[in-house]
Each structure stands twice: as C-alpha cells, then as structure tokens.
Structure 1
Amino acid sequence: MADLKKLKSDILEDGIIDDDEVKTLKDAIYEDGVVDREEIDLLVSLRNEAKETCQAFSDLFFTAMKEHVLADGEIDEDEVKLLDAAIYADGVVDDDEKQLLRDLKAGAKSACPAFDALCEKCLG
C-alpha cells in the first residue's frame, strides 16, 4: 500500500491538484481494488486543503466516495458522518455533492434514518 501521508504531502506541495497527480492518486487508491476509509479520508483531506483542484480530481473524489459508501449496499451512521463532514467542510452544498447524495440514495439497498435526514437537509 502506498504511503498516504507522503502522497498527501507531495500532492499539496504546491497547493494545486493537477491531472498527473490525480493519476498517481488513482493508482494508489485502487492498488488493491478497494477504496477503504483511510483512502477516503485522504481524498477528503486533499479536497479541503488544496487551493485548487482539476475536474479529474472531482471525478475521482465522487466516484471513490460512492464506491466506498455503497460497498456493502447499506449506508450506516458512520458513513453519514463522513458524508456530512465532507459535504459541509466548506459550508456550501454544491451541485456535485447533491448529485452524490442522489446517486447514493438510488444505489443503496438500505440507509439509516440519519442518511434520509442528511438528504432532506441538503436536497430539500
């Protein structure tokens, strides 16, 4: 497994996440074929700390988040806490975040009441 702390440090060195760095990130995250919580935490941290990101990073972020949360088909309270923290990190719910919630709602076999409450709060 890649050294995620070093990877984060290298990527954030200039504050900008570009296409080449996204390829490196994607290779590291999908190295074992599974997006685990540590890797999601890395992506959330990068998203929050980078001054600028490219579209490829956004695509990777939302795809990986969806795969992680829906891995077992159920959305539990820990996953809702993760989603809530990621969505509200900047204080704004953007269109991509709303689409993520819609995709998760459509793809989940079951979800805890906290997920329904988060969707109501974000989607109205």
Structure 2
Amino acid sequence: MTSDDQDRLISYDISIAALAVYLFFAPWVWGYSELRMAAWNSWLSGAAIAGLSVWMYLRPQILLGVAHSLGGLWVLTAPWALHVSADAKVLWTHVAVGTGIIAFTVAEASHLLGDDGRSGGSFAF
C-alpha cells in the first residue's frame, strides 16, 4: 500500500470520527439533551463509532467497516426507531451524520477492495 493510499484511508477514519464526535455533542449543540432517548442515543452511538474509528485507524479490517456501516445505518434510522423524528433537530442531525458515516465507510471499503471489486489484500477478516 502506498503512502497516498494510507493517507486516504486515514482521512476516511478521521472523517468518520469527526462525525461521531459531532453526534456525541449534538444534544448540547442543538438543545435536545432534554429528550432523553435521543440524547442517550447520540452519546452512546457517537462514542461507539468514534471508538471503532480509532480501532480502524490502528488496524484496517473489513469487518470493522461493516460495523461502521451498521452503526451509520442505526444512526440514520434511530429517530424513527426511537419515535423522536418529530423533532427536526434530532431528525436531521441523525440523518446527516448517519448518511455521512455510511458514505465514508463505503468509500473506505471500496478503496480497500480496489476499483475492480477484488480484494486488495491489505486487510484482515
């Protein structure tokens, strides 16, 4: 793996971590910390996804990418699953962050697998 490839993978992990940190602080930034279910979801999901990003940075693995994708999917759908979608701040924060996490995870997986869809061999199962 070249230095440019490594830098690109690091940028994906940093971007996902930044979105997770934003999600963690969103209840205070956007003023929905009184909505307990939404706030706790933001705090726990943000912390878990940030932790996965650190782990992915230290050792890129496709299974961690799958965990990122599932975390992003949860964040994206959580406002409806937790019945807090009526609050626009909660809804759009989760939709934007979840979509961003999924997009960066797909880009990272695509880069790890190579453009032709075959395994590049630089990750472990």
| Band of TM-score, shorter chain | 0.3 to 0.5
Q: In terms of Rg, which structure is larger?
A: 2
Give the TM-score, by structure 2 length. Answer: 0.35
In proportion to residue count, which structure has more helix?
A: 2
In proportion to residue count, which structure has more strand?
A: 1
Give the TM-score, by structure 1 length. Answer: 0.35
Bigger RCO of structures 1 and 2 (CA < 8 A, at least 6 apart): 2
